[in-house]
């Protein structure tokens, strides 16, 4: 039996903005610019979302992340900048624990919060049983994706052109960077673009 993810998320195609609500200049929120929402599959379009958010520490950075991926917990409800900082800090801490192979604390944190992240159900279609991971939010999807990468012994590398994090290793379609290679790229297109820019800057 296999465990398959299930996350169809929604984001505002008109983007997001930072604003204060209830005339409170001390508290800022990221909110959609309109009521329009469109569905997409964030876990299929990006293989290392947790690492990406873990590297952000500014309000502007969080807003840009939302423009590409939507809000963390609900497709349309305003989310406080404070909640974004808390989530990013937790993901940064988890990423550092993984880099140091501190899996005991990482396991304790994940297991104590897993009900917030996901729910696993058994489905049987055409008499073939399989576990399906029901993910209720983008935040839950990022945690699921991160732990799947760890259990599958994937590594994380960063594109030298766009600085996007991605996974490498068996099953990802990308090979790990060799010791004598200085740069990693998220796609052949970005590799070609980087080499083009390097030649014209020399």
Coil, helix or strand at residue 175: coil
Give the pLDDT of residue 198: 85
Question: What is the rounded distance in angstroms from the CA atom of residue 168 to the CA atom of residue 45?
Answer: 15
Cα–Cα distance list, 125 to 2, 73, 130, 131, 161 (Å):
13, 29, 8, 11, 43
Contacts 24+ apart (CB under 8 A), 58-62: 59/18, 59/28, 59/84, 60/18, 62/30, 62/88
Kindly list the domain boundaries of the chain, sorted by start residue. Answer: 3-151, 154-202
Question: The whole model's pTM is what?
Answer: 0.80
pLDDT bracket for residue 1 (50, 70, 90)? very low
pLDDT bracket for residue 50 (50, 70, 90)? very high
- Per residue in 81-119, pLDDT (tens digit) is 999 999 999 999 988 888 888 888 888 877 776 666 666
pLDDT mean over 40-62: 92
């Amino acid at each position: 039996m296999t465990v398959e993810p299930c996350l169809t998320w929604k984001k505002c195609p008109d983007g997001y903005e930072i604003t204060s609500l209830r005339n409170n200049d001390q508290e800022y929120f990221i909110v959609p610019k309109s009521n329009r929402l469109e569905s997409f599959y964030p876990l299929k379009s990006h293989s290392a979302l947790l690492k990406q958010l873990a590297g952000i520490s500014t309000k502007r950075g969080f807003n840009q992340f939302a423009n590409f991926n939507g809000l963390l917990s609900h497709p349309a409800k305003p989310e406080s900048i404070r909640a974004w900082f808390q989530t990013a800090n937790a993901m940064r801490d988890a990423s550092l624990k993984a880099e140091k192979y501190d899996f005991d604390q990482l396991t304790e944190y994940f297991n104590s919060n897993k009900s917030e992240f996901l729910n696993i159900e058994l489905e049987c279609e055409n008499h073939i049983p399989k576990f399906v991971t029901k993910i209720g939010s983008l935040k839950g999807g990022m945690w699921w994706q991160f732990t799947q990468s760890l259990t599958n012994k994937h590594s994380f590398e960063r594109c030298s052109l766009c600085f996007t994090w991605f996974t490498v290793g068996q099953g990802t379609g990308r090979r790990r960077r060799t010791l004598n290679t200085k740069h990693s790229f998220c796609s052949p297109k970005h590799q070609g673009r980087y080499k083009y820019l390097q030649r014209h800057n020399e």
